A = this chain, B = another copy of it.
Amino acid sequence: MKVGIIGASGYSGELLVRLLARHPQAKLTRVTSRQLAGQAVSEVIPALRGQLPGLAFTNSDPSEVAASEEELYFLALPHGVSAEYAKALTAAGKKVIDLSADFRLGSTSLYKEYYGEEHPAPELLAAAPYVQPELERMLGREAWKTAALIACPGCYPTSILLPLAPLLKSSVVEKDGIVINSASGVSGAGKKATAYYSYCERSESASAYGAPKHRHLSEIEEQLALYADADTVVQFIPHLSPMRYGIETTIVAKAKSGIEALYEVWNKAYPQETTPFVRILPSGTFPETRYVVGTNRADMSAVFDKRTGNFVITSTIDNLWKGASGQAVQIMNLASGFEETAGLL
């Protein structure tokens, strides 16, 4: 299967190229970037020196890529820009997997509230499922696999929804009063040319940012509400940590049952034999980002605090793999009938 990537100049675009370069079934035949057009992919991404011979960045005119022979496209573009390509590509019968925020929200008013602009393509929203693959499997849903346009979850939402959604759905935790802290590696901010993101400024520095209303909050709450079957308001506080990759998420939620029930729900939602990318760790141990960085896995565990009546739930992912490009490839694998782990181990 020939696949293409639109907008591969950022970190998630680069990882997509690397993952597809070694994918056993998908063949990466087109990579676009306005700013890099004409340059060899293996020069722009020096980690790939000697690979992908002949593949160069091309211009990314929507009509041109719509007329291309690739069957499937990944969009690794900023929000607001993705929609234009999604329209052209789906109209041309291509399958589109979008890593931007453009089709993550069901509500256009929420989009406007959090992104400051009118939604760029509301007509596509209804037919663009938001796909957290493991949760779709938990719900027994398969229809998304044939959708023309699929929205990939954001990085923070992935680290939060995977542990929390099943617990809300089965009422193991209270939906009210949830407090979430997530620490992200610096690559989460994208490839930035500012003093703030320079090596000397980010080393030895931890801090909160963007609280209390980070953009991902819209996506987190909209999704949680689906599982809680009720409006859900959470306290979400993102942090920057002095590391390149990884997200560590800590969720405090009021327990409505014991820790055994929580683990039972998780084990049923994510049967360990058939869920390659979610690992459930024993209560009392804590996932560490170093063990998931460079993998497509989410690790999670929970502990009950009898003093407060809360569960303390922690999860870790690689923000660029499971939080973006790795999950996008996983989605392609499932939608295309490939092995779920193809190219991802």
Neighbouring B residues of A132 by C-beta, 8 Å? none
Binary CB contact string for chain A from 262 to 303 against chain B (1 if under 8 A, 0 otherwise): 000000000010001101000000111111111101010001
B46 & A291 in contact (Cβ 8 Å cutoff): yes
Q: How many copies does the complex hold?
A: 4
A61 to B205, CA, bound (A): 35
In the complex, how many angstroms separate the beta carbon of A115 from the nearest chain B beta carbon?
Answer: 17
Is A211 an interface position by the 8 A CB rule? yes
Q: Which 4 A-B pairs have the closest CB atoms?
A: A212-B305, A205-B290, A199-B202, A207-B288
Beta-carbon nearest neighbor of A207 in chain B: B288
A201 to B179, CA, bound (A): 29
Neighbouring B residues of A308 by C-beta, 8 Å? 212, 233-235
Stretch with Cβ within 8 A of B (4 or more), from A92-100, A309-317, A323-331:
A309-317
Stretch with Cβ within 8 A of B (4 or more), from A83-91, A103-111, A117-125, A184-192:
A184-192
In the complex, how many angstroms separate the beta carbon of A149 from the nearest chain B beta carbon?
Answer: 30
- Interface residue ranges of A152-183 to B (CB < 8 Å): 177, 179, 181, 183
Tally chain A residues at the interface, Cβ within 8 Å: 76
Neighbouring B residues of A345 by C-beta, 8 Å? 21-22, 51
Neighbouring B residues of A21 by C-beta, 8 Å? 345
Stretch with Cβ within 8 A of B (4 or more), from A64-72, A73-81, A243-251:
A243-251
Neighbouring B residues of A49 by C-beta, 8 Å? 279, 291, 297, 299
Is A239 an interface position by the 8 A CB rule? yes
B207 & A316 in contact (Cβ 8 Å cutoff): yes
CB<8 Å pairs between A and B, sample of 6: A179-B179, A187-B200, A208-B250, A208-B312, A237-B250, A237-B252
A2 to B161, CA, bound (A): 40
Partner of A199, one of B183, B239, B244, B252: B244
Which of A50, A209, A248, A293 lies at the interface centre, i.e. has the most chain B CB atoms within 10 A of its CB? A50
A290-B241 contact given A307-B233, A345-B22, CB 8 Å threshold: no
A193 to B49, CA, bound (A): 27
Neighbouring B residues of A198 by C-beta, 8 Å? 186, 191-193, 197-199, 202
A200 & B212 in contact (Cβ 8 Å cutoff): no
A212 & B307 in contact (Cβ 8 Å cutoff): yes
Beta-carbon nearest neighbor of A177 in chain B: B177
Neighbouring B residues of A290 by C-beta, 8 Å? 201, 203-205
Is A11 an interface position by the 8 A CB rule? yes
Beta-carbon nearest neighbor of A273 in chain B: B53
B276 & A50 in contact (Cβ 8 Å cutoff): yes
A199 to B252, CA, bound (A): 30
Beta-carbon nearest neighbor of A185 in chain B: B204
Is A226 an interface position by the 8 A CB rule? no
